[in-house]
Amino acid sequence: MDAPLSQIGDYLLARAETERDLVREVLRTARKDNDHFREKLAAKLVAFHDEEEEMIKHYVETKLSYPELALELERYKPYLKELWSGAERDWARIKARNEGA
């Protein structure tokens, strides 16, 4: 993989922010519709995505600045390594598509 780690990290953060924004839109819609059950569920999802985004921010910062510590984080929370691997694959596809265009 020849993409700089910072670009993959930025992509991963942008993806997390997009997911959070989508859930916030669901919350706004539920509030507009006065659907209290959906609003409560969406509020919990927003809280989850806020925490998830913070974890990803810390992981990306650690991955870029302290790779040895990132290995420990990956052992403690294996899904972070899976997120990073998925971001690398997505980044490779995006790069290939852009070069082919």
> What's the predicted TM-score (pTM) here?
0.79
Element (H, E) at 57: helix 36-65
pLDDT more than 70, % of the chain: 94
pLDDT grade, residue 1 (50/70/90)? Answer: very low
Please count the other Cβ atoms lying within 10 Å of the Cβ belonging to residue 28: 12
Q: Residue range 8-14: average pLDDT?
A: 90
Is residue 8 within 8 Å of 64, Cβ to Cβ? Answer: no
